[in-house]
Amino acid sequence: MSTMSTKKKPVTTISTCNADEIIVLDKDLMGELIGKVSFTELTFMHIMRRKPTAGETAILDSVLVTLMEHGMTPSAIATRMVHLGSPDSLQGAVAAGLLSVGSNLVGTMEGMAKNLQEITTAEEGVEAAARRIARGFREAGKAIPGFGHPIHKPDDPRTPRLIEVAEANGASGTYIAAMRVLSKEVDAAWGRHLTVNATGAIGTVLSEIGIPWNVMRGIAVVSRAAGLVGHLCEEMREPAGAFMWNLCEHEVAYAGKKKLGGK
Amino acid sequence: MSTMSTKKKPVTTISTCNADEIIVLDKDLMGELIGKVSFTELTFMHIMRRKPTAGETAILDSVLVTLMEHGMTPSAIATRMVHLGSPDSLQGAVAAGLLSVGSNLVGTMEGMAKNLQEITTAEEGVEAAARRIARGFREAGKAIPGFGHPIHKPDDPRTPRLIEVAEANGASGTYIAAMRVLSKEVDAAWGRHLTVNATGAIGTVLSEIGIPWNVMRGIAVVSRAAGLVGHLCEEMREPAGAFMWNLCEHEVAYAGKKKLGGK
Amino acid sequence: MSTMSTKKKPVTTISTCNADEIIVLDKDLMGELIGKVSFTELTFMHIMRRKPTAGETAILDSVLVTLMEHGMTPSAIATRMVHLGSPDSLQGAVAAGLLSVGSNLVGTMEGMAKNLQEITTAEEGVEAAARRIARGFREAGKAIPGFGHPIHKPDDPRTPRLIEVAEANGASGTYIAAMRVLSKEVDAAWGRHLTVNATGAIGTVLSEIGIPWNVMRGIAVVSRAAGLVGHLCEEMREPAGAFMWNLCEHEVAYAGKKKLGGK
Amino acid sequence: MSTMSTKKKPVTTISTCNADEIIVLDKDLMGELIGKVSFTELTFMHIMRRKPTAGETAILDSVLVTLMEHGMTPSAIATRMVHLGSPDSLQGAVAAGLLSVGSNLVGTMEGMAKNLQEITTAEEGVEAAARRIARGFREAGKAIPGFGHPIHKPDDPRTPRLIEVAEANGASGTYIAAMRVLSKEVDAAWGRHLTVNATGAIGTVLSEIGIPWNVMRGIAVVSRAAGLVGHLCEEMREPAGAFMWNLCEHEVAYAGKKKLGGK
């Protein structure tokens, strides 16, 4: 039986309708939304409860475009595997891939955003807070979220582009400035240059447009959903799933104690 | 062991990268995509393998905007239920909601698109094919996909708006015309007016921009993903999940043979 | 807004409780279930609404044991991919793998069960119905569910063992007999021997214990859930996920029109 | 591109096969498993890599039976909501429900197991460690995992039954003893009696049979999978999903700023 307090009767402010009218996010769906706002604008409105400026829309689009596609990633492989078994359930294949959009690969945008939040509001000042945080991670022997990349060395090419788009579109620059200070302190603490990677840059520019850190993963989920639909389109045109299955089955060799040929 | 034929070694044309460059869908990610295309444009590119015209983008946006939000739907309820148990896994809560974007509620856009495909390519001509299809469903006692709505009577207000946006943005009109003929034949076969509903209109206008019927469900999945992130934002601000759980538990009464109070 | 008829207020007969008592499936949880029935027995009770005989339990166990594990299958790969991205969400990794337990690989047990249902109730008699069905699939150029296997030739070794267990545990034999007649007619229609495969045998023996065909997939889902938990245990001890990711990424070669090295 | 170290080529010890033989967990599937071991035994073998004793099987069964069913829980509601939209994807409906088997409701068995692990291995001795842990949670104002229940007061009736089954089946009692000491210290720290709840008891008895704390959630996932299949059986016989949807939609009232009746 429910163990949660539910004294207050909750309400919703998302949507309502009758025979002729549909209200979504305090707008008339037919008169004010369809044909008037883009998907990116409505997504911003849903999360932030207000219309974005043109600059905010451009920044959110830059993030959604950056996150959509990275080739044959774990999420794309999971989606294609599920399609092999359940070809009539496109939603299941996409859902499977989205389940991998979690703490390990995408979660670093949240960590960067939390650190920038702390730095920009610290009483000790931006530099002191950045130094404390950078040294804290380093001394604990932990990776600092949003820094470093195994392929994109010395620098992740997406980061300057994302910052450039944010600056060209009216970002105040508070979080970008804090990220730059943190980056200097990270390099000092590590004794070598670590790039701000794409998820680090995304955590920064999403902070610029006010997205709370605990919803940022949702932006990645939305963008990857479109990428995974694209992977399914390719899988239907040019199947790779069965090949990948065979490959994995063959290359991860069986090494149990009991061997075949028992007869 | 894999039971599928895998003779041909497959390839992918989606994405590749090295230290400095990232190619996505045959475009340079930094130079040609980030800050240059919207999420909706990149989604179209991923599915259709070419850039959309401004009109095609507007039509796809109108569909994504229409589908995003319908209030406390089964998918929103599922998402909020999963959030109660797994609050640290936003991706899991969204994935659960997306799993309901299936044959029963969304699938009718596919059925409409298939019927329009058949009507527009039939040797017998548009009218004869529409009549045959409408009568076929009616005589079989089956609902015809894309027609009828329990709330939006006599007509679904989203349909004329979606058609208006499509026509204002350069749709050729082939499928819209076929939909109108089918609508007339449906009314004749049923002996009363059935509205073309929103999913019917969406199946029509997505056909106008060339989206294959078996991918249309993916457009709904992408749009609903954003809506479900919005529901999680509301759930975090103004929790309704525990209330709904209690409500369902209380109102679906226990009616087993064995009763409490056995002591 | 809900479009479904909900005139009758529904009830549940599954479970209820108060401070001291918990009733599950018309039994006292503490006094009659915990320590008294096995998981397999309670699973049978949940689906069939009655206690199984010892023989029915043995047959259901034989099916659950057969389905649990087949090595590095698409579902196991999907589960391991999701674990890479979301290691803190075991439930998400298992759910992703289960999403592949669908029409393509597991669904054939349903098809076999439906055919046996038709054969055993046909007015024309078992042999005539089996012949009609076998020829129907053959003439339509379709695979007949539950027959054939790419590895286990000429015969799937699981099939005789499952039948043996069913016969040793009191199965009436109606569906087993029908399966044997169908098998003979399939060989005749195809002009060569096709083995009754494991899912074919499972569809047969689950029919013997009364499981409806449209729930059989659920038996596979339960069994695979345990297998996927086992795969996660191995993945934590001996990680293979990142290796499989690299392998797939490397072996599914990029073949887009735009190439790297553009600078 | 994969960012994970993959130097060592991994192996699997789970399963392999050829035309005539299938090996699962170092046993011959046909000769040693089907008809010879129960589902519960094979699940134990998959996780622990050895055959369970009869007592260990009985204890694992007692846990699986306890977890399977709690009526109209969030997971059951999520499963029924997904069934409304995707009735042809039983695996999707079950997967949705399983996604709620997470940190909030089930995770407390992990927390109890971790605390007992710490208590039973602490240099300071069992009592001192239990006191330190109980006071630590109390002073931090945090709920201590495995204690307290809103309905089952003063004591959860499942707990003594689970302990009784474990003791009757050869559990060494190390963790049960530690749990009792912890319970005494919790009551002292809180100044009132808090019951050891069912998940607390489950964390205890699963520790007794050696299940690692980070796999315990998997036991819940397996058991709930069967429960959710049962809910789908009831939903097909006696639909409640549409009713619950209507209820939630109606009772969570719309409270947006823009109101209907704009015409």
Residues B156, B238: one domain?
yes
Residues D107, D182: one domain?
yes
Spans in chain A with pLDDT lower than 70: 1-7, 262-263
Res A71: pLDDT: 96
Is residue A259 situated within a structural domain?
Answer: no
Pairwise CA distance, residues A258 & D234, whole Å: 43
Res B55: pLDDT: 98
Q: How confident is the model at residue D8 (pLDDT cuts 50, 70, 90)?
A: confident
**Chain C residues with CB-CB distance to A74 below 8 A:** 81-82, 84-85, 241, 245
Q: How confident is the model at residue C105 (pLDDT cuts 50, 70, 90)?
A: confident
Contact of C9 with D247, CB cutoff 8 Å: no
Average of pLDDT values for C189-215?
Answer: 97
Average of pLDDT values for C169-177?
Answer: 96
**Whole-structure pTM value:** 0.97
Is residue C7 situated within a structural domain?
Answer: no
Res D7: pLDDT: 60
Indicate the angle between helix axes A74-85 and C74-85, nearest 10 degrees: 150
Res A3: pLDDT: 47
Residues D64, D27: one domain?
no
Residues D71, D176: one domain?
yes
Tokens of B226: 């954003």
Tokens of A154: 């010395």
Res B3: pLDDT: 47
Res D106: pLDDT: 87
Tokens of A146: 């949003």
Average of pLDDT values for D61-75?
Answer: 97
* Residues whose CB falls within 8 Å of the CB of residue A156, separated by 6 or more in sequence, listed in order: A149, A195, A196, A197, A198, A201
Pairwise CA distance, residues B110 & C86, whole Å: 33
**Chain C residues with CB-CB distance to D56 below 8 A:** none
Residues B149, B160: one domain?
yes
Residues C24, C84: one domain?
no
Average of pLDDT values for B97-121?
Answer: 95
The answer to whether residue D1 scores a pLDDT higher than 60 is: no
Comparing CB atoms, the residue among C15, C95, C152 nearest residue D71 is: C15
Pairwise CA distance, residues A22 & C104, whole Å: 40
Q: Give the residue carrying structure tokens 């569809």.
A: C203
Residues B103, B221: one domain?
yes
Domain count along chain A:
2
Say yes or no for a CB contact (<8 Å) between B11 and C253.
yes
Is residue A38 situated within a structural domain?
Answer: yes
| CA nearest to A91 within chain D | D92
Dihedral (CA of D48, D23, C92, D199) sign: negative
Q: How confident is the model over B23-43, as pLDDT tens digits?
A: 999 999 999 999 999 999 999
The CATH number that applies at residue B67 is 1.10.230.10
Res A7: pLDDT: 61
| CA nearest to B38 within chain A | A61
Residues A69, A116: one domain?
yes
Is residue A212 situated within a structural domain?
Answer: yes
The answer to whether residue B125 scores a pLDDT higher than 60 is: yes
Contact of D47 with D218, CB cutoff 8 Å: yes
Pairwise CA distance, residues D211 & B87, whole Å: 25
Pairwise CA distance, residues B195 & D35, whole Å: 57
Residues B75, B45: one domain?
no
Looking at chain A, which subunits does it touch, using at least 3 CB pairs closer than 8 Å as the criterion?
Answer: B, C, D
* Host domain of residue B85: 53-252
Q: How many C-beta atoms surround the C-beta of residue D164 within 10 A?
A: 14
Say yes or no for a CB contact (<8 Å) between A260 and D17.
yes
pLDDT averaged over chain D? 95
Say yes or no for a CB contact (<8 Å) between A103 and C86.
yes
Least confident of B4-13, B180-189, D34-43: B4-13
Is residue D241 situated within a structural domain?
Answer: yes
Res C3: pLDDT: 47
CA angle at D147 for the pair D144 and D152, rounded to the nearest 5°: 150
Rg (C-alpha) for chain A, rounded Å, is: 23
Say yes or no for a CB contact (<8 Å) between C28 and B258.
yes
Average of pLDDT values for B104-115?
Answer: 93
**Chain B residues with CB-CB distance to C149 below 8 A:** 3
Res C8: pLDDT: 74
Q: How confident is the model over C217-259, as pLDDT tens digits?
A: 999 999 999 999 999 999 999 999 999 999 999 999 999 999 9
Residues B62, B185: one domain?
yes
Rg (C-alpha) for chain C, rounded Å, is: 23
Residues C152, C180: one domain?
yes
List the beta bridge partners of residue C11: B253
Residues C150, C45: one domain?
no
Res A10: pLDDT: 96
Contact of C114 with D107, CB cutoff 8 Å: no
Is residue B45 situated within a structural domain?
Answer: yes
Most A CBs within 10 Å, among D8, D13, D16, to test the A interface:
D16
Res C36: pLDDT: 98
Is residue B215 situated within a structural domain?
Answer: yes
The answer to whether residue D209 scores a pLDDT higher than 70 is: yes
The answer to whether residue C188 scores a pLDDT higher than 90 is: yes
**Per-residue CA distances from C244 to A54, A78, C89, D9 (Å):** 42, 11, 20, 10
Position with higher pLDDT, B2 vs B177: B177
Is residue C256 situated within a structural domain?
Answer: no
Res C262: pLDDT: 67
Res A105: pLDDT: 78
Res C7: pLDDT: 61
| Alpha helices (H) in C99-215, listed in sequence order | 108-121, 126-139, 158-168, 174-190, 198-208
Res B234: pLDDT: 98
